[in-house]
């Protein structure tokens, strides 16, 4: 184990030659890279312990499918956390969107694509609606994100239970279940995961290659500085929370297609699982730093651990212990980096010290 640790240690050493521009993306990439190595290490350990069962196509496919819906949620959550916010409501919004979409499709009565498409649109709109509620309350009413989304977590789940009487609905049209839920694009490539990958790639492009993404980083690094250079911070925050709601709504219809059930009671820890994945992936809870790629890797770690532990025959409770340790380690690295930035190694991290997002926090 020690030899593996020291090997990884060498690989993650900071490259000395950094270009001044694009440093932010570079930083994010760096922690994402460390996480890739951690994931690789975990996969390696399981592969060595169970060479015949762990790295089979069936198992890899299973892990990917089971991570797909979380990855869709992770895209929105990454944007939100980069702004320095949090969204606890995603699991409930997922359930709510699934419930409304299910009810709508039931009313339409059809079992074909027409009904399915209406269901998809309705689910996305429901998610968007909750996202807008979150965004407006946070940006305009100045209620802290933790409280707003804790509130909408309860409200979205409560409305779902009022509408259904707390009883799971199971009326996803067959076309949706057979294609999106369990279908394959080609061979053994699951449609659900391809859809999730599309969302992830789109999210990555928007975050890292567009003005919208740049503003997201700017708002999270230093909202005041962003305001002074002309970013409409309030409006941007609303858009970011709306986006998180939208993808949660979309995840709701994917969830309905996959489980053929609205899984009302199964989503109570989804928000925390997604947040853990995002943070493990190197997105800073203090905002301003992060990447979609890191999030996806961060979400795979718990999935792979759970899968590997079941295969090893280890009590699945241990998965939580290990994920907890990785989570704390990831935040520790983030914190230590910020402290280093303040301690005068500003040459290494000029962006952070210039905009002061680190300096505010580290004085504590």
Partner 1 sequence: MKRKGAIIAGLLALALGLTACGSSGAPAGGAGAGPIKLAFVQGVIGDAFYVTMQCGIQEEAAKLGATVTTNGPQKFDPSLQTPVLQSVIASAPNAILIAPTDVSAMQQPIQQAIQQNIKVVLVDTTLKDPSIAASAISSDNLGGGKAAFDAIHQLAPQGGKVLVVSVQPGISTTDDRAKGFQDAVKANPTYQDLGVQYSNNDPQKAAQIVNAALQANPDIVGIFATNLFSAEGSATGIRQAGKQGQVKVVGFDAGPDQVKALQAGTVQALVAQQPGLIGQDGVQQAVAALKGQPVTKSIGTGFTVLTQANLNTPEGQAAVYKSSC
Residues from 7 through 26 that contact partner 1 (CB under 8 A): 8-14
Residue from 62, 151, 350, 356 touching partner 1 (CB under 8 A): that is: 62
- 156-175 footprint of partner 1 as x/- string (CB under 8 A): ---------xxxx-x-----
Residue from 1, 141, 186, 229 touching partner 1 (CB under 8 A): that is: 1
- Token look-up 């380690």 returns 329
Looking at the Cβ atoms of 70 and 238, the one nearer to partner 1 is 70
Looking at the Cβ atoms of 141 and 167, the one nearer to partner 1 is 167
Nearest approach in angstroms of CB 242 to partner 1 is 25
Torsion on CA atoms 243, 248, 254, 256, rounded to nearest 10: -150
> Does 202 interact with partner 1 (rule: CB under 8 A)?
no
> Does 362 interact with partner 1 (rule: CB under 8 A)?
no
Beta carbons of 287 and 220 less than 8 angstroms apart: yes
Looking at the Cβ atoms of 41 and 121, the one nearer to partner 1 is 41
> Does 188 interact with partner 1 (rule: CB under 8 A)?
no
DSSP 181-210: IT-BSSTT-BHHHHHHHHHHHHHHHHHHHS
DSSP 35-84: HHHHHHHHHHHHHHHSTTTTT-HHHHHHHHHHHHHHHHHHHHHHHHHHTT
CB within 8 A of 45, min separation 6: which ones? 308
Residues numbered 296-325 forming contacts with partner 1, rule: CB under 8 A: 303, 306-318, 321-322, 325
Residue from 18, 47, 53, 184 touching partner 1 (CB under 8 A): that is: 53
Nearest approach in angstroms of CB 161 to partner 1 is 8
Beta carbons of 96 and 252 less than 8 angstroms apart: yes
DSSP 251-271: HHHHHHHHHSS--GGGGTTHH
Q: Please say whether the dihedral angle defined by the alpha carbons of residues 94, 199, 83 and 129, taken in this order, is positive or negative.
A: negative
CA distance 288 to 16: 22
> Does 58 interact with partner 1 (rule: CB under 8 A)?
yes
Which of 62-70, 130-138, 212-220, 235-243 is the region at the interface with partner 1 (rule: CB under 8 A)?
62-70
Looking at the Cβ atoms of 201 and 329, the one nearer to partner 1 is 329
């Amino acid at each position: 184990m020690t030899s593996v640790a020291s090997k990884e240690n060498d690989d993650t050493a900071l490259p000395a030659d950094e270009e001044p521009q694009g440093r932010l993306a570079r930083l994010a990439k760096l922690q994402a890279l460390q996480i890739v190595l951690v994931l690789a290490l975990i996969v390696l350990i399981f592969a060595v312990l169970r060479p015949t069962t762990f790295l089979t196509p069936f198992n890899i496919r299973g892990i990917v499918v089971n991570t797909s819906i979380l990855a869709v949620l992770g895209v929105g959550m990454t944007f939100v956390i980069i702004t320095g916010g949090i969204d606890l409501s995603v699991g409930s919004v997922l359930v709510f969107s699934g419930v409304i979409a299910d009810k709508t499709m039931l009313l339409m009565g059809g079992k074909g694509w027409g009904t399915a498409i209406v269901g998809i649109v309705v689910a996305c709109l429901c998610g968007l609606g909750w996202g807008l509620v979150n965004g407006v309350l946070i940006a305009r009413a100045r209620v802290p994100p933790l409280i707003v989304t804790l509130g909408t977590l309860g409200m979205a789940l409560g409305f779902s239970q009022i509408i259904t009487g707390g009883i799971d609905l199971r009326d996803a049209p067959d076309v949706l279940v057979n294609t999106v839920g369990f279908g394959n694009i080609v061979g053994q490539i699951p449609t659900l995961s391809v859809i999730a990958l599309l969302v992830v790639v789109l999210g990555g492009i928007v975050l890292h290659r567009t003005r919208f993404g740049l503003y997201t980083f700017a708002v999270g690094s230093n909202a005041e500085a962003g305001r002074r250079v002309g970013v409409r911070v309030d409006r941007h925050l609303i858009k970011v929370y709306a986006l998180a709601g939208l993808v949660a709504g979309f995840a709701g219809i994917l969830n309905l297609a996959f489980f053929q059930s609205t899984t009302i009671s199964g989503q109570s820890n989804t928000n925390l699982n997604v947040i853990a994945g995002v943070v493990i992936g190197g997105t800073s809870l203090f905002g301003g730093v992060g990447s979609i790629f890191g999030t996806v890797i961060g979400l795979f770690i718990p999935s792979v651990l759970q899968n590997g532990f079941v295969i090893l025959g280890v009590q699945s409770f241990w998965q939580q212990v290990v994920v907890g340790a990785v989570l704390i380690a990831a935040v520790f690295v983030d914190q230590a980096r910020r402290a280093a930035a303040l301690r005068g190694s500003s040459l290494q991290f000029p962006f952070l010290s210039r905009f002061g997002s680190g300096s505010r926090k580290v004085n504590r």
